[in-house]
Every structure is written in structure tokens, then in C-alpha cells.
Amino acid sequence: MAHAPTSTASEKYYVPHGSPWPIVGSVALFTTVGGAAMWLNHVHAGPWILTLGLGLLTVMFVGWFGVVIRESEGRLYNEAVDRSFRMGMMWFIFSEVMFFAGFFGALLYARQFSVPWLGGEGTKLMTKVIRGDNFEPAWPTNGPGDIGGDFTVIPAFGLPAINTLILLTSGVTITIAHHALRAGNRRLLNIFLALTFLLGFLFVYLQATEYVEAYTHHNLKLSTGIYGSTFFPLTAFHGFHVTIGALMLTVIWFRCLKGHFTPTQHFAFEGVAWYWHFVDVVWLGLFIFVYWL
């Protein structure tokens, strides 16, 4: 949430001292995961401990963001710090790419290899003979044994297509906001940035609606064989990323309203804008591979 250095920036590489936020963050994460584990194990206090953890996490984010923003506005960051921020962002993105590569890889492996093998394709004829259940591979499937019972998929032209249009539109609005920031048009920047995060939250809301539809009308659940167990993690983790992106855009919007950033110094804006484009592209891949190809 920082921004790049100016001529008045510090000569020294700024290192914060005595920050309470790392330990607060650790305690918050421990409490959150502990609460979730207790809940899953039917411990009565589980949901309360989870709520406490999430509350602590929120306090940590607000506090830590505030500190970094004040440091940035106080011109404590020089060029070396800026370089560190950009390298940090790059490695963070690399980890995100690997994260989604794992999920897309699982989907493609199941579709292209393991499901056809179970049906005896290629050199796996004996697999089919030994299994003896006459399983005919086709995608979408919940595999041999019809795990999770009969199900139907969510039609591509329903909510998925609407959500694709919403995210594409938000990609256009963030780009207009980016151009406006560089041109020094603050009014346009504020309007289009607000539109971007509002579209993001709308996407998340519609995604939740889609899940309710899947569970209630399509019998499509996380437990619906290989299709359910690839569909939900992929779309849910993407939805989680959209939520994080929309929250970060909201923070950036408030900063823009306060007059932060200049046409050439806006690292935080650039980082969040790029992240937003990234989640948009992941969704495009998801829309194509999950619903079409």
C-alpha cells in the first residue's frame, strides 16, 4: 500500500522498529485456523473462536495498512525500498500463478488422463476389463460409481456468462481509472475505481448465488465426484481472490479520495490494478475450461 519515492525521500533503507503487527497477525491466524478446526470437530466454541480470529485479522489489516500508508505518505521509502516492494509483488504473483496452475492442472489431468483411463482408453483397456462396470468416460462426470448421485452442470449462459461480463467490465473500468490517474484526472479516477470494486463485490454475490443454485437445483456439490471436487475449489479460490482484490481496491479508492498518489508515483495503485487484471484473466481461463472447452 506504499507509493514510490520522491526527491525528498529518505537516504537510508527504511526498516520499521518495534511493530506489533506481525505477532498480532500470527495470533490472529492461529486463532482463525484453530477456531475452524474446532468447528469441523463439532466443538461448541469453534464458531466463536473463528469469529474472534477473523476479527483480530481485520484489526491487523487495518492497523498494518494504516502504518504502511503513513510511512509512505511520510516519504520514508527511498528507491531501494520501492525496488523491494516491486520484487515482493512479483514473487507474490509467481506464487499465485503456481497456486492456480495446480488447480487447473488437476482439472486437465482428470479430464485428459485419469477419467479416460478409467474408461479403458489408450493402453488402459485392462483397467476397464478388471473394473467390469462398463464405465463410459465423458466430461462432465462424477466418475465410476456415480459418486454424489446424479447431477447437472450450471449452464454457461446463466450466471457464469453474466459474471464473465461483470469481470470484463471491471477490467475496462480499472483500465480507465489507471489512464485517468496517469493523466491527473482525479474525478474520473475516483468514479471508475469505485465502479471497479462495486462490480467485484457484485461478482462475489452472484457467485454465492450460483453455489446455492448448484446445491439446491443441480445436486452439484463438493462431494460430486471428480467434477464437484475440481469445480468448487477452482471457482471458490478464485472468488476468494476477487474478494481480496475488491477489498484492496476499496482501500486504494479511499486513498485516492484523500489525494494520495501522483501520475508517476502510485506503486500501490499499480500493484492492486495488476492483481485485478490477474484475477480477471484467471476467470477467463476458468470460464473457458470449466464451462466450454
Partner 1 sequence: MARLLILACLLAIVLSLGSALVHFVRDKGESQKMVRALTIRVSLSVLLFALLMLAWWLGWIEPHVR
- Residues of this chain that interact with partner 1 (CB under 8 A) are 4, 82-83, 86-87, 89-90, 93, 139-141, 151-153, 155-157, 164-165, 168, 171-172, 175, 178-179, 182, 264-267, 270-271, 273-274, 277-278, 280-281, 284-285, 288, 290-293
Residue 273 burial class via C-beta count within 10 angstroms: exposed 0-12, middle 13-18, buried 19 and up = buried
CA quadruple 178, 183, 189, 193: dihedral, nearest 10: 0
Query: Does residue 208 contact residue 267 with C-beta atoms inside 8 Å?
Result: no
Residue closer to partner 1 by CB (options 239, 271) is 271
Residue closer to partner 1 by CB (options 168, 188) is 168
Going by C-alpha positions, the residue among 22, 45, 48, 49 that lies closest to residue 34 is 49
In DSSP notation, 122-175 reads TT-HHHHHHH-S-----SS--TTTTTT----PPPTTTHHHHHHHHHHHHHHHHH
Residue closer to partner 1 by CB (options 76, 81) is 81
Residue closer to partner 1 by CB (options 156, 204) is 156
Give the shortest CB-274-to-partner 1 separation in angstroms: 6
Residue closer to partner 1 by CB (options 59, 172) is 172
Residue closer to partner 1 by CB (options 89, 206) is 89
Give the shortest CB-271-to-partner 1 separation in angstroms: 8
Non-local (6+) Cβ contacts of 254 within 8 A are none
Residue closer to partner 1 by CB (options 48, 215) is 215
Give the shortest CB-275-to-partner 1 separation in angstroms: 10
Residue closer to partner 1 by CB (options 43, 198) is 198
Non-local (6+) Cβ contacts of 168 within 8 A are 280
Give the shortest CB-177-to-partner 1 separation in angstroms: 10
Asked, as a colleague might, if the bond just before 155 is cis with ω within 30 of 0, I would say no
Query: Does residue 38 contact residue 45 with C-beta atoms inside 8 Å?
Result: yes
Going by C-alpha positions, the residue among 178, 205, 134, 195 that lies closest to residue 273 is 178
Give the shortest CB-215-to-partner 1 separation in angstroms: 16
Give the shortest CB-173-to-partner 1 separation in angstroms: 10
CA distance 196 to 202: 10
CA distance 73 to 5: 10
